[in-house]
Copies of this chain bind each other. A is one copy, B any other.
Amino acid sequence: MTTHHFQPDHYHRTIGPHVPVLYIEPGDHVLTNTIDARGKDSNGVQVTLPRNPMTGPFYVNGAEPGDTLVLKLERITPTAKLGWSSWGVAANIVDPDFISELTMPVPDKPWVPALWDIDLTASTATLRVPETKLGQLRLHLAPMLGCFGVAPEHEQSISTSTSGPYGGNMDYRGCVAGTVIYFPVFTPGALLFLGDGHAVQGDGEIAGTGIEIAMEVEFQVELIKNKIIHWPRGENKDEIFTLGNARPLDQALQHATTEMVRWLKEDYGLDAVSAGLLLGQAVRYEVANVFDPAYTMVCKIPKTILEGLK
């Protein structure tokens, strides 16, 4: 079992069948870096253009269409001292008639982000600027990846602003270290991309950003041969979950719920009745993002409830 140290020297702003930067084996670990959503590295140096530039793609030897890629997020550590975020909430998440009340006080100045001090020892992000009534608002760090996935179906190259069955810009704050994500493989080698780290993020990414920051990321890949899934799946120590990406939220929820029913059927042997009884009284949802072109809804089941079924 190998651990690769990979330092990117270029980035992609579409997820697609691009030239691999590294070939890895199932079981391999990779330690690498991601830059922030605006293309800045740990030192605040602009190393590429903005809009979720991705590290990768990593070619997983042996991965073929019809397989499932297993991505174990082992460590996600902010590498900059300052993270940034937008100031206000997005226009699309309040009532249309209320949008005018969100108008920022200094619309004519050039846009500058809010800045947050990152303290890895205390595990906190603390608001530095702007000065508001919030003072030095302090939030607990929960570093996550906002955008990651594999090359999409039908040989598409799709902007890192959006998401689909292949993953992408799902902005789910549950994608923290310790989480395992499963992706459908559409392309030989799967072609794994990752980036868009957030030190902290609320549900829905309703400000349009988390606390954006460069990250050091350690992950392991595995491969499940001849296993077809339709949407990204995941698990952590407490839950299994599925991710549906679409607009409106209703459709994202339909995708995620459908994928969960499939999962319960395939791996837990539940038929329509038993899956319905279980989900009806025990399902949990999370609004991952309600900002990006495709919204993301998460459908979850506690593992305790599934004990003894597998």
Contacts and interface: CB of A to CB of B under 8 A. Distances in A.
Contacts of A159: 153-154, 156
B157 A279 contact: no
A47 interface: no
Interface stretch (A2-10, A33-41, A71-79, A205-213): A205-213
Nearest to A106: B273
B281 A105 contact: no
A282 B202 contact: yes
Contacts of A111: none
A137 B277 contact: yes
Nearest to A125: B281
A62 interface: no
A224 interface: no
Interface in A21-63: 51
A200 interface: yes
A86 interface: yes
Q: Which of A127, A137, A209, A210 has the most CB of B within 10 A?
A: A137
Interface in A246-267: 246-251, 253-255, 257-258, 261
B95 A277 contact: no
Contact of A89 (B104, B127, B139, B276): B276
Contacts of A16: 156-157
B272 A101 contact: yes
Given A16-B157, A253-B290, A280-B85, A102 B202 contact: no
Given A210-B281, A287-B253, A273 B87 contact: yes
A140 to B, nearest CB: 10
Nearest to A283: B202
A164 to B, nearest CB: 9
Nearest to A265: B101
Interface string A86-106: 111111111111111111110
A100 B101 CA distance: 10
A96 to B, nearest CB: 4
A51 B155 CA distance: 13
Nearest to A254: B95
A204 interface: yes
A274 interface: yes
B247 A278 contact: no
Interface string A108-149: 000000100000000001010010111101010000000000
Given A93-B257, A156-B159, A271-B132, A276 B88 contact: yes
Contact of A14 (B155, B247, B253, B285): B155
9 contacts: A94-B257, A98-B258, A133-B270, A135-B308, A156-B158, A157-B157, A202-B281, A202-B284, A247-B247
